[in-house]
Amino acid sequence: MKRLFIVILCCAALVSRGNETLVQQEAADSLRVLLNDRKPDTVKVLQADRLWNAVFRNSHNDSLMLRSAKAIVNLSRKLRYPWGEARGWYDLGRFYHHAEKMDSSVACFDASIALALKLNNKELAIQAYTTQGRVYRKVTDFVNATNALLHALKLAEEMRSKAGIANSYNELGNICNIQNKYRQAISYHRKALALRLELRDSLHISHSYFNLGENYQKANLFDSSFYFLNKALEISRNRHNEVGEAYVYESFATIYNKKKEFARSLEYASRALTIIEPEIEEKDEEIDLLEDIGRSYNGLKQYDKAIAAFLKALSEIKKYSIPQDIAYVYSGLSEAYEGKRDFVHALEYYKTFKKSNDSIFNNENAAKVSQLEIQYAQEKKDKVRDLEEKAKEADHEAQIRQKNIISVSVGIGMLLVVVFSIFIFNRFRLTQRQKQVIEEQKRAVEEQKKIVEEKNKDILDSIHYAQRIQNNILPTRKYIDRTLKRLKN
């Protein structure tokens, strides 16, 4: 039953691998069709760039990659399409980086950056600066590597791109790691990790965990190193990322080598090498593993095996131009030959180690890198200060505007009060005038009333006087009644 299950898994893997190969082939064929089109336009340039990236990620057809990247640049120039030309130069830079042609890669990235900045395409400029920084780091030009990455970081901060800022911090941490500035590297990687945790980017979170584990390992803080490496290993297993697991195993091998547990170190290094060796893109890690195996054999006093591992690593370094690892290999070879009591070769490799080590970690380069970092920090402080001053100026202007608004409002309010007061005063005067007229009319009426009353009194007095005279002249009623009665009788 178990065998049947394994067979089914193998068949599924082959089908999956076949489907991936088919997709890659379709992308490559589509790219060839576009390149042979005699009537290109900007849309086709964009399609060619997208297909180029698809083929580049999944294929190693160098002739097609080179021809198509150059075609994208030339077609874009012909169409006067600078955006496409910038993308084409970026693709060419990535190809030359892959092909270990570092000078050509740097030149292509310079062309892409110049066009991207001219077009205000900050996203592409960040990508080009970041990849260019990796190229410079690979050839141990740490000054230019730091400079390129600080430019990428500045643009990412202007865009408020958390992913871009995190990537820049990550790459700056890697440069500090190579220069043995582990505390500074840890600071950069912690900043990158904090941003990636906010973005919930599991792949890059695992990278940050691994980088922190690596730096703690190099600083001989093994407990912290194991903590972060185990977190990276957990994510890699959940993502079924065997290469990620191999990187962690290599770090475990280095830790156990430092703890002088050489058998255990050899076990982890060998396990990682079986995963990494078939991967063409992972030669850096393969070299690191060969170094770990060599150091483990040195610890186990199996010097011939150690020399074989170191010489294989040296061959890979020269083949793929990875100079930052060469000093460690020479150091391991010197130690192995010293163990074999072959002091001539031991001294020869030790001298070569010192020469290589000094060329990588010279004081002048370290000073220039530190100067660039200080300059960037100062520029950042100046920028913050400028923003604060602008904020203060804006606040001052807002206060002035507020005062002006208050002054105008008070003025308008006072004007309204004056107008209202005038209106009230006029109404008061009118009311007073009307009241005065009424009072005058009242007085006139009162005078007329008095006159009427006086005349009425005079008339009544006259009537009463006449009535009295009449009463005195005429006989009384009793006299009349008595006289009438007498006459009747």
pLDDT band, very low/low/confident/very high, at 4 (cuts 50, 70, 90): very low
Q: pLDDT, tens digit, for every residue of 366-411? A: 555 555 555 555 556 656 666 666 777 777 777 888 888 888 888 8
Ordered by where they begin, the domains of the chain are 23-160 (1.25.40.10), 262-360 (1.25.40.10), 456-489 (no CATH)
Q: Note the pLDDT of residue 339.
A: 86
Average pLDDT of the chain is: 80
- pLDDT over 60 at 249, yes or no: yes
Highest mean pLDDT among 100-104, 206-210, 360-364, 403-407: 206-210
Q: Note the pLDDT of residue 485.
A: 79
Q: pLDDT, tens digit, for every residue of 422-479? A: 888 888 888 888 888 888 888 888 888 888 888 888 888 888 888 778 777 777 777 7
Average pLDDT over residues 238-255: 91
33 CB neighbour count, 10 Å cutoff? 13
Q: What is the C-alpha to C-alpha distance for residues 414 and 129, in angstroms, rounded to an integer? A: 63
By C-alpha distance, which of 377, 373, 376, 366 is closest to 181?
A: 366
3-state secondary structure the chain: CHHHHHHHHHHHHHHHHHHHHHHHHHHHHHHHHHHCCCCCCHHHHHHHHHHHHHHHHHCCCHHHHHHHHHHHHHHHHHCCCHHHHHHHHHHHHHHHHHCCCHHHHHHHHHHHHHHHHHCCCHHHHHHHHHHHHHHHHHCCCHHHHHHHHHHHHHHHHHHCCHHHHHHHHHHHHHHHHHCCCHHHHHHHHHHHHHHHHHHCCHHHHHHHHHHHHHHHHHCCCHHHHHHHHHHHHHHHHHCCCHHHHHHHHHHHHHHHHHCCCHHHHHHHHHHHHHHHCCCHHHHHHHHHHHHHHHHHHHHCCCHHHHHHHHHHHHHHHHHHCCHHHHHHHHHHHHHHHHHCCCHHHHHHHHHHHHHHHHHHCCHHHHHHHHHHHHHHHHHHHHHHHHHHHHHHHHHHHHHHHHHHHHHHHHHHHHHHHHHHHHHHHHHHHHHHHHHHHHHHHHHHHHHHHHHHHHHHHHHHHHHHHHHHHHHHHCCCHHHHHHHHHHHHC
Q: pLDDT, tens digit, for every residue of 183-236? A: 999 999 999 999 999 999 899 999 999 999 999 999 999 999 999 999 999 999
pLDDT band, very low/low/confident/very high, at 15 (cuts 50, 70, 90): very low
Is 136 within 8 Å of 107 (Cβ atoms)? no
Q: pLDDT, tens digit, for every residue of 156-180? A: 999 999 999 999 999 999 999 988 8
47: tokens are 């399609």
Angle at 271 between CA 265 and CA 275, to 5 degrees: 140
Q: Note the pLDDT of residue 306.
A: 83
205: tokens are 């979170």
- pLDDT over 60 at 6, yes or no: no
- pLDDT over 90 at 79, yes or no: no
30 CB neighbour count, 10 Å cutoff? 16
Cα distances (Å, whole numbers) of residue 383 to 186, 380, 388: 25, 5, 8
Q: Which residue has the tokens 């793929």?
A: 320
By C-alpha distance, which of 98, 104, 106 is closest to 133?
A: 106
Cβ-in-10-Å burial (0-12, 13-18, 19+) of 187 comes to middle
pLDDT band, very low/low/confident/very high, at 480 (cuts 50, 70, 90): confident
- pLDDT over 70 at 2, yes or no: no
Is 324 within 8 Å of 313 (Cβ atoms)? no
